[in-house]
Amino acid sequence: MTISGTKAASGSGRRLSLGVSAVSRTRAVAGSRAASRPAAGKAKTAVRRSASSRQGRRSGAGKPAAGRKPGAGSPARPLPGLKGALSVIITARNEADTLPGLLKQVERLSPAEIIVVLNGCTDYSYERSRLCRKAIIVHCPESAGHDVGRALGAKLSRGDILLFLDGDMNMPASKLAPFAHAVDGGVDVALNDLDGLLPPFGLSDNVTRCKLYLNAVLDRQDLGASSLTAVPHALSRRALECIGCRELMVPPKAHALALMKGLRVEKAGAVNVIKHNRLRESNTGAGNAVEQLIAGDHAEALHEVLRQRQPAVPQSPAGQLEERRRLAAWRNRI
């Protein structure tokens, strides 16, 4: 992995086996800044408005123009600031259409850095991301795997608050800010509250049941189906160091570790990602590939819960390898 324009993250003993080609902090400027100026001595054109015209404008003041919504075209309101430095980590795969809009919303949060992990993109996601002057672009020519981009982005980050987003969901900054503010206020893991969007347990899909069950096992029924599997979510630097960057590759396992280590885990906002989530062949239909992956991730999380709750028994390297082989075989059968 080569890094240009940024300082390489110091080694923390963790290794991510990714074929990353380049990381670049872009300073692209869209469009030309050259502007023509009027020649010296050139007469200025004066525009005179009649008294009746001015009166007509006064009478229409405060009324929105026909066909326009109130506030359309007005500048976005600034969002409340944060005490800590914010790192926004966006993972994307062929999201050239939604990335520009999302990056504009993210810039409204005034982040210290924006890390865009392009995971096997074959469209114009790279070129579109370069238009954001703050973006640090991590380009993986081939897909590094589901959720690996979050782990990589976290390892490269330097902020006190880490906000994780997916590039296929263009969400307003006002919906993203509560997650960053929750962590800024002392929460270690700020989760997206999806409970209001989900049916009762008996009518829920398998992924939702996995989330509910894991939280119940960890005695946090109050979290409902909230999980690190869903974005947006945010972590404190303390949480990242406690959980480990590598564990973010399996979000339910990272979620379980956060709870077992006594971190402060709370719901922070409610964003309808079900509506915004881009439909693909891999995430639609019963038993789709993403559903199977998430079910397997929860199986791995439950395995970690059981392992930590059992008395510690010294195990040889060969025994550890055999345990991982059995776990992989179990996951593949789900």
Q: Give the bridge partners for 267, in sequence order.
A: 191
Residues 6+ apart with CB under 8 A from 50: none
What is the predicted pLDDT for the residue at 287?
A: 65
- What pLDDT was estimated at residue 334? 55
Helix 99-107 to helix 173-184 angle (10° resolution) is: 50
Residue 227's pLDDT is 96
Distance between CA 113 and CA 130 in Å, rounded? 14
Domain 2-6+17-25+79-276 class in CATH: alpha beta
Domain range summary for the chain, segments of one domain joined by +? 2-6+17-25+79-276
Could you give the 3-state DSSP secondary structure of residue 312? coil
Give the Cα separation of 91 and 166 in Å (integer). Answer: 5
Per-residue pLDDT reduced to its tens digit, 69-79: 434 444 456 57
The pLDDT value given to residue 331? 63
**Which pLDDT value is given to residue 274?**
75
Question: How far is C-alpha 112 from the chain's CA centre?
Answer: 15
Give the bridge partners for 250, in sequence order: none
The per-residue pLDDT for 239 is 98
State the CB neighbour count (10 A cutoff) for residue 143. 13
- The answer to whether the CB of 126 falls within 8 A of the CB of 144 is no
Q: What is the pLDDT of residue 20?
A: 40
pLDDT at 54: 41
Residue that has been written with the tokens 């509506």 in this structure: 275
Task: Evaluate if pTM is beyond 0.75.
Answer: no
| pLDDT tens by residue, 110-162 | 999 999 999 999 999 999 999 999 999 999 998 888 799 999 999 999 999 99
Structural tokens at position 104: 């504009």
Burial of 14 (0-12, 13-18, 19+ CB in 10 A): exposed
**pLDDT tens-digit profile, the chain (334 residues):** 333 333 333 333 333 444 344 444 333 323 333 333 333 333 333 333 334 444 444 444 444 444 444 344 444 565 778 999 999 999 999 999 999 999 999 999 999 999 999 999 999 999 999 999 999 999 999 888 879 999 999 999 999 999 999 999 999 999 999 999 999 999 999 999 999 988 888 888 889 999 999 999 999 999 999 999 999 999 999 999 999 999 999 999 999 999 999 999 999 999 998 765 655 555 455 667 888 899 999 999 999 999 998 876 677 888 778 877 877 776 666 5
CA gap 273, 225 in Å, rounded: 13
